[in-house]
Chains A and B, each alone.
Chain A
Amino acid sequence: MYPTAKSAKQEIAHAKSPNRLAKILNSQKVVPYIFISPFVISLLIFTIYPTIKAIIMSFQSVLPGQVTFIGLDNYSRVFNPVFFKALSNTTIYVILTVTILTIIPIILAVLLDSKLVKFKTLFRASLFVPALTSTIVAGMVFRLMFGETDTAAANQILNWLGLESVDWQYNAWSGMLLMVLLCSWRWMGVNILYFLAGLQNVPKELYESAEIDGANVFEKFRYVTLPFLKPVTIFVVTISIIAGFRMFEESYVFWPAGSPENIGLSVAGYIYQQGISQNDLGFGSAIGVILMIIIFVVSIVQLLLTGAFNRGDE
């Protein structure tokens, strides 16, 4: 009798323990951790680990089967003429794309938001479509339109205007123009949408009271519209700067094997060239760390500008 009771008790305990496990697994204290765990694990493997590894590798000489600590050697090597060329190309590219992709979309968004424009949906959609293309396919079309022959579209236009044909891919200025055009063409519509969303925050009554005060169109734009667009402008500028510093494909598509005198070399392109093509992982990582620092500084300046740090927990 006694052993049976014991085994019955055990049985109950056995039956209970998966039940208890199920209960634990279903408690609101445990569930969120289970929910976030797949993401956390992949985050650790595919983001945190590579970031730390890159920082470590930037102080190493990484050869197959032979990794040696070399201190700041990679960093002192980074500051060479080619890197500065890449950095200055990238900086010019950032300045141009940010200017174009902020000022023009603001103007177009304000016009699209006004009563002046009909067919708003059509215009918005057609300006947005380029964002659907890949840089590679779009860049290929640009390459064929900006070919160096007199029969390519861009040179045809120049010739009609009585100007000489241009070897678009072989001059520093025109190479930069190609990359900036490609990027601006693809992102214009997206940025217009950001600003259109921002314009929904402008209280319409303010325009009326400004009108009563005798403000003209430009004054209304300057003193009513622009201040309300400040947050979205800072956001657009920040993401454009970050995307600009990461530029790679816009250059690769025009010069897959490297550009003449590095007219199209970007910082990311330099990482690819050194880290992957030349297989110098340590040196490539050092460039990567510098790129990351640039992007961090930009992001933090942006957070300071928007006052994200003083806003508390929300």
Chain B
Amino acid sequence: MNRKKSVLIKSVINLCFFVISFIALFPLISLLLASFRPSTELMRNGISLTFDPSELNLNNYTYIFSEAGQYWTWYGNSLTISVLTIVLSLFFSSLVGYALAVYDFKGKNFFFTCVLFILMIPFEILMLPLFQLMIDTALVDTYTAVILPAVVAPVAVFFFRQYALGLPRELMDAARMDGSTEYGIFFKIMLPLMTPSLAAMAILQGLGAWNNFLWPLIVLRSNNLFTLPLGLSTLLTPYGNNYDVLIAGSVMTIVPIIILFIFFQRYFVAGLTVGGVKG
């Protein structure tokens, strides 16, 4: 009797999880399905649950691959900006996190506390003076303006410090005996050991840059410099006749990320669960 009851409870709970997972994936599934349907109908009706399977076609995709050059410009912009943000922010913050973990220096605790407080400063208060700074330095409407503020990544500093605390210090002493400089120790020995944390932070920073919206919205003006979210948002008008690019284009911003996620799940989880406060 009791066993029967527990089997029942188990199946009910598992069923619930199937339903919940389905709900979680449902918007993405319907986006994918909608991308194979005529875009005019999408504009008129929105995403419907009912559709005629015979009208499914690849027109949106053929259009985007053959005629929508603008879309690929945005894609290239987003890729460039994401890669540069990853490289610069990881370089700066891994140096800091490592220095905080392995060296003793004056002002270390003060500096660390400062970084802690900076975590609490919302980007929304920085954006107006930063915008003015970009105007004054004539950087408005450039990649540089988009990337520079993202280089400061206090969350990554914390993460790297935590990770570097666990690195074997004996290696450093051994390398010093061999005549290696402090820089050599970092770049040739310790940084390679920090690869897992670099991967996690690359994902956090990369995803942040790839999906970032507010700051690019403020500093970018020209259509040919837009990032993907920015460009796609301009297509989202009630009168738009660009729904083919919008819908197929949206699918193609998500698909590469999901593919990366399948291969690097562990790093995605590590990266995204550290950066709760990120914006």
Chain A residues packing against B (C-beta within 8 Å): 26, 28-29, 31-33, 35-36, 38-40, 42-43, 45-51, 53-54, 57, 62, 108, 111-112, 116-119, 122-123, 125-138, 140-147, 149, 151-153, 156-157, 185, 188-190, 193-194, 197, 235-236, 239, 242-243, 245-246, 248-249, 252-253, 256, 267-268, 271-272, 275-276, 281, 284-285, 288-289, 291-292, 295-296, 299, 313
- Chain A residues within 8 Å of B120, by CB: 242, 295-296, 299
Closest to A160 in B: B49
Does the CB pair B24–A144 fall under 8 Å? no
Does the CB pair B27–A42 fall under 8 Å? no
Closest to B126 in A: A50
Does the CB pair A132–B152 fall under 8 Å? no
Residue among A43, A272, A289 making CB contact with B125, cutoff 8 Å = A289
Residue among B25, B152, B272 making CB contact with A47, cutoff 8 Å = B152
Q: B211 near A: Cβ within 8 Å?
A: yes
Interface size on B, residues (CB 8 A): 85
| Chain B positions 222 through 266: 1 when the CB is less than 8 Å from some CB of chain A, otherwise 0 | 000000110011001000000000100010011001100100010
Residue among B91, B96, B261 making CB contact with A132, cutoff 8 Å = B261
| Chain B positions 20 through 34: 1 when the CB is less than 8 Å from some CB of chain A, otherwise 0 | 110011011011001
| Chain B positions 127 through 170: 1 when the CB is less than 8 Å from some CB of chain A, otherwise 0 | 11111110000000000000011011000010000000000000
- Chain B residues within 8 Å of A42, by CB: 92, 148, 151-152
Does the CB pair A147–B46 fall under 8 Å? yes
Does the CB pair A129–B258 fall under 8 Å? yes
Q: B63 near A: Cβ within 8 Å?
A: no
Q: Can you report 6 A-B residue pairs in the complex whose CB atoms are below 8 A from each other?
A: A32-B108, A117-B17, A130-B24, A134-B253, A149-B44, A193-B272
A256 smallest CB distance to B (angstroms): 7
Does the CB pair A288–B125 fall under 8 Å? yes
Interface residues of B in 259-279 (CB under 8 A from A): 261, 265, 268-269, 272-273, 276-277, 279
Contact residues of A: prevailing secondary structure: helix
Q: Give bound CA distance, A239 to B218, whole Å.
A: 25
Residue among B10, B20, B100, B229 making CB contact with A116, cutoff 8 Å = B10
Q: B189 near A: Cβ within 8 Å?
A: no
Residue of B10, B129, B207, B273 contacting most chain A CB atoms (<10 Å)? B129
Known: A136-B232, A276-B128. A141 touches B30 (CB 8 A): yes
Does the CB pair B276–A153 fall under 8 Å? no
Residue among B42, B118, B232, B276 making CB contact with A144, cutoff 8 Å = B42
B241 smallest CB distance to A (angstroms): 15
Does the CB pair A152–B124 fall under 8 Å? no
Known: A50-B130, A125-B265. A246 touches B123 (CB 8 A): yes
Known: A29-B105, A54-B129. A249 touches B214 (CB 8 A): yes
